[in-house]
Amino acid sequence: MDNRELRECAAVALSVLDLTNLKEDCTPEEITALVARARTPYGAAAAVCIWPRFVAQARSLFGTDHSIRIATVVNFPSGALSVDEVVRETEHAIADGADEIDLVIPYTRLKAGDEAAVSEMVRAVRAACPSPVLLKTILETGELKEPQLIRRASELAIAEGSDFIKTSTGKVAVNATLEAADIMLQAIRDSRKNIGFKPAGGISSVGDAALYFRHASAIMGENWVMPSTFRFGASGLLNDIVTVLGGGASTAAASGY
Protein backbone atom coordinates (compact mmCIF):
# COMPACT_ATOMS: atom_id res chain seq x y z
CA MET A 1 0.00 0.00 0.00
CA ASP A 2 1.15 3.55 -0.69
CA ASN A 3 0.45 6.29 1.82
CA ARG A 4 -2.78 7.39 0.13
CA GLU A 5 -4.19 3.86 0.16
CA LEU A 6 -3.16 3.39 3.77
CA ARG A 7 -4.95 6.57 4.80
CA GLU A 8 -8.06 5.53 2.88
CA CYS A 9 -8.00 2.17 4.64
CA ALA A 10 -7.57 3.90 8.00
CA ALA A 11 -10.56 6.14 7.36
CA VAL A 12 -12.78 3.15 6.56
CA ALA A 13 -11.45 1.25 9.58
CA LEU A 14 -12.39 4.16 11.84
CA SER A 15 -15.92 4.24 10.45
CA VAL A 16 -16.47 0.52 11.19
CA LEU A 17 -14.67 0.35 14.55
CA ASP A 18 -16.38 -0.89 17.70
CA LEU A 19 -14.00 0.76 20.17
CA THR A 20 -13.81 -1.74 23.00
CA ASN A 21 -13.02 -1.90 26.69
CA LEU A 22 -13.96 -5.27 28.16
CA LYS A 23 -11.22 -5.46 30.76
CA GLU A 24 -12.45 -7.12 33.94
CA ASP A 25 -11.16 -4.21 36.03
CA CYS A 26 -12.53 -1.47 33.79
CA THR A 27 -13.51 1.66 35.73
CA PRO A 28 -16.11 4.39 35.19
CA GLU A 29 -13.28 6.82 34.50
CA GLU A 30 -12.04 4.58 31.68
CA ILE A 31 -15.53 4.51 30.17
CA THR A 32 -15.63 8.31 30.20
CA ALA A 33 -12.27 8.32 28.41
CA LEU A 34 -13.45 5.66 25.92
CA VAL A 35 -16.52 7.68 25.00
CA ALA A 36 -14.34 10.74 24.44
CA ARG A 37 -11.85 8.76 22.32
CA ALA A 38 -14.65 7.49 20.06
CA ARG A 39 -14.76 10.94 18.48
CA THR A 40 -11.53 11.88 16.73
CA PRO A 41 -10.44 14.86 14.60
CA TYR A 42 -10.83 12.54 11.59
CA GLY A 43 -14.31 11.18 12.31
CA ALA A 44 -16.04 8.90 14.77
CA ALA A 45 -16.02 5.20 15.55
CA ALA A 46 -19.13 3.19 14.77
CA ALA A 47 -19.70 2.16 18.39
CA VAL A 48 -18.23 1.66 21.81
CA CYS A 49 -18.40 -1.90 23.17
CA ILE A 50 -18.49 -2.12 26.96
CA TRP A 51 -19.64 -4.22 29.91
CA PRO A 52 -23.39 -4.06 30.69
CA ARG A 53 -22.69 -2.34 34.02
CA PHE A 54 -21.43 0.73 32.14
CA VAL A 55 -24.22 1.09 29.57
CA ALA A 56 -26.24 3.59 31.59
CA GLN A 57 -23.14 5.72 32.14
CA ALA A 58 -22.30 5.70 28.43
CA ARG A 59 -25.88 6.61 27.55
CA SER A 60 -25.77 9.54 29.94
CA LEU A 61 -22.58 10.73 28.23
CA PHE A 62 -23.93 10.32 24.70
CA GLY A 63 -27.42 11.52 25.61
CA THR A 64 -29.90 11.19 22.77
CA ASP A 65 -27.12 11.04 20.17
CA HIS A 66 -27.05 7.53 18.69
CA SER A 67 -24.59 8.33 15.88
CA ILE A 68 -22.00 6.42 17.92
CA ARG A 69 -23.78 3.33 19.08
CA ILE A 70 -23.49 1.62 22.44
CA ALA A 71 -22.77 -2.10 22.17
CA THR A 72 -22.64 -4.42 25.15
CA VAL A 73 -22.02 -8.11 25.78
CA VAL A 74 -24.25 -10.84 27.20
CA ASN A 75 -23.47 -14.46 28.13
CA PHE A 76 -19.92 -13.14 28.11
CA PRO A 77 -17.32 -14.51 27.92
CA SER A 78 -18.11 -18.12 28.89
CA GLY A 79 -21.28 -18.68 26.89
CA ALA A 80 -22.44 -20.79 29.83
CA LEU A 81 -25.42 -18.90 31.29
CA SER A 82 -29.01 -20.12 31.00
CA VAL A 83 -31.31 -18.68 28.34
CA ASP A 84 -33.41 -16.95 31.00
CA GLU A 85 -30.35 -15.30 32.55
CA VAL A 86 -29.14 -14.06 29.18
CA VAL A 87 -32.54 -12.70 28.22
CA ARG A 88 -32.63 -10.78 31.51
CA GLU A 89 -29.13 -9.40 30.83
CA THR A 90 -30.27 -8.33 27.39
CA GLU A 91 -33.45 -6.65 28.54
CA HIS A 92 -31.64 -4.77 31.30
CA ALA A 93 -28.93 -3.57 28.91
CA ILE A 94 -31.47 -2.32 26.41
CA ALA A 95 -33.41 -0.56 29.16
CA ASP A 96 -30.14 1.16 30.16
CA GLY A 97 -29.65 2.41 26.61
CA ALA A 98 -27.76 -0.24 24.63
CA ASP A 99 -28.13 -0.05 20.85
CA GLU A 100 -26.41 -3.36 20.08
CA ILE A 101 -26.14 -6.70 21.88
CA ASP A 102 -23.08 -8.93 21.36
CA LEU A 103 -24.19 -12.42 22.42
CA VAL A 104 -21.84 -15.34 23.07
CA ILE A 105 -23.35 -18.62 21.92
CA PRO A 106 -23.09 -21.72 24.16
CA TYR A 107 -20.10 -22.85 22.13
CA THR A 108 -19.06 -25.58 24.55
CA ARG A 109 -22.45 -27.23 24.09
CA LEU A 110 -22.15 -26.90 20.32
CA LYS A 111 -18.79 -28.67 20.45
CA ALA A 112 -20.58 -31.48 22.29
CA GLY A 113 -23.12 -31.76 19.48
CA ASP A 114 -25.97 -29.69 20.94
CA GLU A 115 -27.01 -27.47 18.04
CA ALA A 116 -30.41 -26.86 19.60
CA ALA A 117 -28.78 -24.99 22.50
CA VAL A 118 -27.34 -22.46 20.07
CA SER A 119 -30.59 -22.03 18.18
CA GLU A 120 -32.59 -21.61 21.37
CA MET A 121 -30.21 -19.01 22.79
CA VAL A 122 -29.99 -16.89 19.65
CA ARG A 123 -33.75 -17.10 19.05
CA ALA A 124 -34.55 -15.99 22.60
CA VAL A 125 -32.14 -13.08 22.58
CA ARG A 126 -33.28 -12.02 19.12
CA ALA A 127 -36.83 -11.84 20.47
CA ALA A 128 -35.59 -9.64 23.33
CA CYS A 129 -33.98 -7.14 20.91
CA PRO A 130 -36.67 -4.86 19.47
CA SER A 131 -35.83 -2.95 16.31
CA PRO A 132 -33.57 -1.02 15.83
CA VAL A 133 -31.40 -2.88 18.38
CA LEU A 134 -28.82 -5.01 16.56
CA LEU A 135 -27.88 -8.56 17.57
CA LYS A 136 -24.24 -9.51 16.96
CA THR A 137 -23.64 -13.19 17.70
CA ILE A 138 -20.19 -14.27 18.92
CA LEU A 139 -19.21 -17.77 17.77
CA GLU A 140 -15.86 -18.02 19.64
CA THR A 141 -14.24 -19.52 16.57
CA GLY A 142 -10.88 -20.09 18.27
CA GLU A 143 -12.55 -22.55 20.62
CA LEU A 144 -14.73 -24.20 17.97
CA LYS A 145 -11.53 -24.74 15.93
CA GLU A 146 -12.96 -27.14 13.33
CA PRO A 147 -14.03 -25.48 10.06
CA GLN A 148 -17.25 -27.47 9.94
CA LEU A 149 -18.19 -26.30 13.44
CA ILE A 150 -17.47 -22.67 12.57
CA ARG A 151 -19.58 -23.03 9.45
CA ARG A 152 -22.42 -24.68 11.35
CA ALA A 153 -22.34 -22.07 14.12
CA SER A 154 -22.54 -19.38 11.45
CA GLU A 155 -25.54 -21.04 9.82
CA LEU A 156 -27.38 -21.46 13.12
CA ALA A 157 -26.78 -17.85 14.15
CA ILE A 158 -27.92 -16.55 10.77
CA ALA A 159 -31.00 -18.78 10.71
CA GLU A 160 -32.19 -17.43 14.07
CA GLY A 161 -32.04 -13.79 13.08
CA SER A 162 -28.58 -12.46 13.94
CA ASP A 163 -27.74 -9.12 12.35
CA PHE A 164 -24.00 -9.85 12.53
CA ILE A 165 -21.85 -12.87 13.22
CA LYS A 166 -18.69 -12.16 15.20
CA THR A 167 -15.58 -14.25 15.56
CA SER A 168 -14.52 -13.93 19.16
CA THR A 169 -14.72 -12.57 22.67
CA GLY A 170 -11.05 -11.62 22.72
CA LYS A 171 -10.77 -13.64 25.93
CA VAL A 172 -9.37 -16.92 24.58
CA ALA A 173 -6.03 -18.02 23.16
CA VAL A 174 -7.08 -17.76 19.49
CA ASN A 175 -9.36 -14.93 18.44
CA ALA A 176 -10.00 -13.47 14.98
CA THR A 177 -8.23 -15.22 12.11
CA LEU A 178 -8.49 -14.89 8.35
CA GLU A 179 -9.32 -18.60 8.18
CA ALA A 180 -12.38 -18.14 10.39
CA ALA A 181 -13.29 -15.00 8.48
CA ASP A 182 -13.26 -16.96 5.23
CA ILE A 183 -15.69 -19.56 6.60
CA MET A 184 -18.03 -17.01 8.14
CA LEU A 185 -18.10 -14.72 5.11
CA GLN A 186 -18.88 -17.66 2.84
CA ALA A 187 -21.75 -18.61 5.16
CA ILE A 188 -23.09 -15.05 4.93
CA ARG A 189 -22.77 -15.05 1.15
CA ASP A 190 -24.46 -18.43 0.81
CA SER A 191 -27.35 -17.39 3.09
CA ARG A 192 -28.27 -14.58 0.68
CA LYS A 193 -29.29 -12.56 3.72
CA ASN A 194 -28.19 -9.08 4.73
CA ILE A 195 -25.92 -10.19 7.57
CA GLY A 196 -22.84 -8.38 8.81
CA PHE A 197 -19.44 -9.71 9.89
CA LYS A 198 -17.33 -8.66 12.90
CA PRO A 199 -13.80 -9.93 13.48
CA ALA A 200 -12.65 -9.21 17.04
CA GLY A 201 -9.53 -9.83 19.05
CA GLY A 202 -5.93 -9.24 18.00
CA ILE A 203 -6.56 -6.65 15.29
CA SER A 204 -4.27 -3.77 16.15
CA SER A 205 -3.04 -2.07 12.97
CA VAL A 206 -4.35 -0.57 9.76
CA GLY A 207 -2.41 -3.30 7.96
CA ASP A 208 -4.43 -5.91 9.85
CA ALA A 209 -7.61 -4.09 8.87
CA ALA A 210 -6.57 -4.06 5.22
CA LEU A 211 -6.23 -7.84 5.17
CA TYR A 212 -9.79 -8.29 6.44
CA PHE A 213 -11.15 -5.66 4.06
CA ARG A 214 -9.56 -7.44 1.09
CA HIS A 215 -10.91 -10.77 2.26
CA ALA A 216 -14.43 -9.42 2.69
CA SER A 217 -14.36 -7.71 -0.70
CA ALA A 218 -13.12 -10.86 -2.43
CA ILE A 219 -16.03 -12.90 -1.05
CA MET A 220 -18.83 -10.35 -0.72
CA GLY A 221 -17.93 -7.93 -3.50
CA GLU A 222 -16.55 -4.41 -3.68
CA ASN A 223 -18.20 -1.73 -1.54
CA TRP A 224 -19.67 -4.31 0.87
CA VAL A 225 -17.63 -3.01 3.80
CA MET A 226 -19.60 -0.35 5.68
CA PRO A 227 -20.85 0.06 9.27
CA SER A 228 -24.11 -1.75 8.54
CA THR A 229 -22.30 -4.89 7.33
CA PHE A 230 -18.81 -4.85 8.82
CA ARG A 231 -17.30 -4.00 12.20
CA PHE A 232 -13.99 -4.47 13.94
CA GLY A 233 -13.96 -5.21 17.66
CA ALA A 234 -10.72 -3.73 18.95
CA SER A 235 -9.20 -1.66 21.71
CA GLY A 236 -5.79 -0.83 20.26
CA LEU A 237 -6.64 -0.33 16.59
CA LEU A 238 -7.75 3.28 17.08
CA ASN A 239 -4.22 4.34 18.03
CA ASP A 240 -2.83 3.18 14.69
CA ILE A 241 -5.78 4.62 12.76
CA VAL A 242 -5.23 8.08 14.27
CA THR A 243 -1.47 7.85 13.68
CA VAL A 244 -1.98 7.04 9.99
CA LEU A 245 -4.70 9.67 9.46
CA GLY A 246 -2.41 12.20 11.13
CA GLY A 247 0.33 11.47 8.61
CA GLY A 248 2.42 9.14 10.75
CA ALA A 249 3.72 5.66 10.04
CA SER A 250 1.55 2.64 10.77
CA THR A 251 2.83 0.07 13.23
CA ALA A 252 2.27 -2.39 10.36
CA ALA A 253 4.88 -0.72 8.17
CA ALA A 254 7.39 -3.41 9.01
CA SER A 255 5.03 -5.98 7.51
CA GLY A 256 4.86 -4.17 4.20
CA TYR A 257 1.69 -2.15 4.74
Helix axis angle for 147-159 and 178-191, nearest 10°, is: 40
Q: Which of 18, 96, 163, 198 is catalytic?
A: 198
The verdict on whether 193 is a catalytic residue reads no
Which of the residues 163, 166, 208, 240 is marked catalytic? 166
- Side-chain-side CA neighbours of 123 within 13 Å: the count stands at 10
Beta strands at 39-40 and 43-44: parallel, antiparallel or unpaired: antiparallel
Rounded to whole angstroms, how far apart are CA atoms 55 and 74? 12
- Please list, in sequence order, all residues whose beta carbon lies within 8 angstroms of the beta carbon of residue 72, skipping any fewer than 6 positions away: 49, 50, 51, 52, 54, 55, 93, 98, 100, 101, 102
102 catalytic residue (yes or no): yes
Nearest to 73 by CA among 28, 117, 47, 104: 104
Asked about 198 being catalytic, the answer comes back as yes
Query: Which listed residue (18, 96, 99, 102) is catalytic?
Result: 102
CA 64 to chain centre: 23
3-state secondary structure at position 204: coil
Distance between CA atoms of 187 and 181, rounded to whole angstroms? 10
Start-to-end Cα distance in the chain: 5
DSSP assignment of 82-119, as one string? -HHHHHHHHHHHHHHT-SEEEEEP-HHHHHTT-HHHHH
The CA-atom distances, in angstroms, between 9 and each of 58, 203, 226 are 28, 14, 12
Catalytic residues: 102, 166, 198
